[in-house]
Every structure is written in structure tokens, then in C-alpha cells.
Amino acid sequence: RKEVEQDPGPFNVPEGATVAFNCTYSNSASQSFFWYRQDCRKEPKLLMSVYSSGNEDGRFTAQLNRASQYISLLIRDSKLSDSATYLCVVGGFKTIFGAGTRLFVKA
């Protein structure tokens, strides 16, 4: 089993749609959680940290369920510019990156 697993994707959605990404992690001792975004041929960029209480940043909402070792990212009102690969990242002794989920938002 991979240490961090994500939906394989790709997700193809129309503009304005709501899309949800899921991620599970295997190490219960993990302490920090993030979503990164990576555009084609670019470096990953921090999208948001994920807190146990859940957190929201504009159209983006992240949730963490420590008991289930599950992280989610919800994107509302998708824009064309949201098209990218979304990486689930779990930190602890080591930082582990998920393989990423590709999102394509179509006009």
C-alpha cells in the first residue's frame, strides 16, 4: 500500500462545477497535511494547509479526518485556471507526496 494515495483521475469537469479530491494516508503519526498544485512543467505550489477543524480559502475547502486518515479538497465554481495536478502531501518524520490527481476544467 502506498503511504499516500489519491484518486487517480483525470477529472474532466465543466466550468462552474464542484469537484472533490480524496486522499488517504497510512501513517497515523503524520502531523501536517497540505494540498499543493502543480501546473504542467512547473514546480508544485502550496495551495493550502489542512487542519483538523477544516479550513476554507475562497472556493477551496480542505478537510482532515484523522480517525479515518483521510484528507479531501473541494473546489467550488471551477474555473479554467484551476486545471492542474493536485498533490496531497502528508508530513511527519518524512514528507510524503501523493502521485497527484489531474483536473481538466472545460469551457
DSSP single-letter state for residue 3: S
Rounded Cα gap, residues 84 and 73, in angstroms: 14
Q: Which is nearer to other proteins, 44 or 73 (CB)?
A: 44
Q: Does 44 bind other proteins (CB under 8 A)?
A: yes
Rounded Cα gap, residues 7 and 24, in angstroms: 9
DSSP single-letter state for residue 26: S
Q: Does 53 bind other proteins (CB under 8 A)?
A: no
Rounded Cα gap, residues 13 and 83, in angstroms: 10
Q: Does 45 bind other proteins (CB under 8 A)?
A: yes
Which region, judged by CB under 8 A, interacts with other proteins, from 14-22, 36-44, 64-72, 76-84? 36-44
Which region, judged by CB under 8 A, interacts with other proteins, from 9-17, 18-26, 59-67, 83-91? 83-91
Q: Does 42 bind other proteins (CB under 8 A)?
A: yes
Residues that bind other proteins (CB under 8 A): 31-32, 34, 41-46, 49, 87, 89, 91, 95, 97-100
